[in-house]
């Protein structure tokens, strides 16, 4: 009995001292809007394994874009690089490899020796390169990712999440359209040998355009996939697959589900437009322009500043600060594209929930409305003070699309033009 107790105690102690490995996590998003279609433990930190090489390639593409390297630049192989474990290209110390071949070796073979070569030639040492990778990750919004090497070989401090990998996959596709097609490479010939891409979805799952697999004993089988089909674009991430085949089948099921969900969303009717009510600022603008001897709409460039200046001096307790008084064109989104719309995502009895629901809306909407301006408006009503949660500065189509997305997440949302005062929405608080 005593022996059994000792064995049980030792097993318990060993179990607590052993790190949790190969934790499952997954995420599928609409690659155009950033809308989340499926998520499981998407913010859990896991070992990225060779998904790390996506960032290594991001840095190589950046060097090409900035002119620091060309495709024919030759990278020297150090003794340390030549001794990296499998998988490898088998580079020898003192040898050189072109940037083009290095990219192809990383994409297809997932060569660890080549990853070290890239890091050392760019930053002097692989550890310094990893620090630069981590800094770049922060710039991309990868807040839960830390890199310690260029390859993804085991290091307990090298961690990432499914959500961060979606951000990286999105960024490398958008930032380097000239080089991103390399991820479609199915095979690579080098010194008489042919290396096939580890990503089995290429050629098997319609529309797959990359991007990378990963595996270590600690991480399990990982995959980041990007698929473009029928005008739709999905990005999927799976961490911790039991085998490569099971991981691939699971990814296909998640992507199938994502495409089906996008199709259902596309069939949803647009959210109802709130009925316009007389807007106090618009009325003030008409009165002020008339007092100045102008008709409404005359001297469109000067009028807003004058209205704002005079209206701000009017002491009213419930007047909302003006957002837009004229339909100003935003040249950054093309001639005639007007950002005089927004969305209201709730009305609350205090400002805390209003701020929180804006953040929640931004998480679901992703980078599609990064240009939108957050606003919590304090408005006096007969029954007391309410706080409206708004994201303004959108085009009409952006506002309507955003509400269509949020309504599928059971979040309140009404698209509003800037000159419309929205009826109060009463979600649960």
Active site residues: 50, 53, 110
Beta bridge partners of 392: 342, 373
Q: State whether the Cα torsion 108-112-114-120 is positive or negative.
A: positive
Give the HSE-up count for residue 89: Cα atoms under 13 Å, Cβ half-sphere: 32
Number of H helices, E strands in the chain: 12, 13
> In sequence order, what are the residues at sequence separation of 6 or more whose Cβ sits closer than 8 angstroms to the Cβ of residue 115?
52, 53, 56, 84, 106, 149, 150, 151, 152
Q: Could you identify the residue written with the tokens 């102008």?
A: 294
Q: Where are the beta strands (DSSP E) in 23-156?
A: 25-30, 36-40, 74-76, 96-98
Distance, in Å, from the CA atom of 75 to the CA atom of 227, rounded to the nearest integer, reads 32
What DSSP character marks residue 105?
A: I
> In sequence order, what are the residues at sequence separation of 6 or more whose Cβ sits closer than 8 angstroms to the Cβ of residue 77?
91, 92, 93, 94, 95, 96, 97, 113, 117
């Amino acid at each position: 009995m005593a022996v059994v107790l000792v064995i049980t105690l030792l097993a318990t102690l060993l179990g607590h001292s052993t790190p949790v490995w190969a934790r499952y996590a997954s995420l599928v998003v609409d690659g155009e809007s950033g809308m989340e279609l499926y998520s499981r433990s998407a913010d859990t930190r896991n070992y990225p394994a060779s998904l790390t090489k996506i960032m290594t390639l991001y840095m190589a593409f950046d060097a090409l874009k900035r002119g620091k390297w060309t495709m024919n630049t030759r990278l020297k192989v150090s003794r340390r690089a030549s001794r990296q474990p499998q998988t490898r290209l088998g580079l020898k110390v003192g040898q050189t490899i072109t940037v083009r071949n290095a990219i192809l070796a990383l994409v297809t073979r997932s060569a660890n020796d080549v990853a070290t070569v890239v890091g050392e030639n760019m930053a002097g040492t692989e550890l310094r390169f990893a620090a630069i990778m981590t800094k770049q990750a922060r710039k991309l919004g990868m807040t839960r990712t830390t890199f310690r090497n260029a390859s993804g070989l085991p290091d307990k401090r090298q961690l990432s999440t499914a959500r961060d990998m979606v951000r990286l996959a999105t960024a490398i596709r958008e930032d380097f359209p000239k080089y991103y097609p390399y991820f479609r490479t199915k095979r690579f010939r080098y010194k008489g040998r042919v290396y096939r891409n580890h990503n089995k979805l290429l050629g098997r799952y319609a529309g797959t355009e990359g991007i990378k697999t990963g595996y270590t004993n600690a991480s399990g089988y990982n995959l980041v996939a990007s698929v473009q089909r029928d005008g739709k674009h999905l990005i999927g991430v799976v961490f911790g697959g039991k085998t490569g085949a099971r991981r691939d089948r699971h990814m296909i099921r998640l992507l199938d589900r994502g495409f089906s969900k996008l199709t259902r969303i596309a069939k949803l009717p647009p959210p109802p437009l709130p009925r316009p009510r007389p807007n106090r600022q618009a009325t003030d603008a008409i009165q002020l322009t008339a007092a100045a001897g102008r008709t409404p709409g005359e001297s469109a460039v000067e009028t807003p500043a004058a209205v704002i200046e005079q209206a701000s001096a009017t002491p009213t307790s419930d007047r909302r600060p003006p957002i837009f008084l004229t339909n100003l064109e935003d040249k950054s989104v093309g001639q005639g594209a007007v950002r005089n719309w927004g969305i209201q995502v709730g009305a609350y009895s205090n400002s805390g929930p209003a701020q929180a629901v804006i953040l929640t809306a931004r998480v679901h909407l992703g980078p599609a409305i990064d240009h939108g301006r957050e606003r919590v408006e304090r408005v006096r009503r007969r029954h007391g003070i309410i706080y409206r949660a708004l994201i303004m500065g959108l085009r009409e189509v952006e506002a309507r699309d955003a509400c269509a997305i949020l309504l599928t997440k059971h979040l309140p949302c009404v698209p509003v033009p800037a000159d419309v005062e929205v009826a109060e929405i009463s979600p649960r608080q």
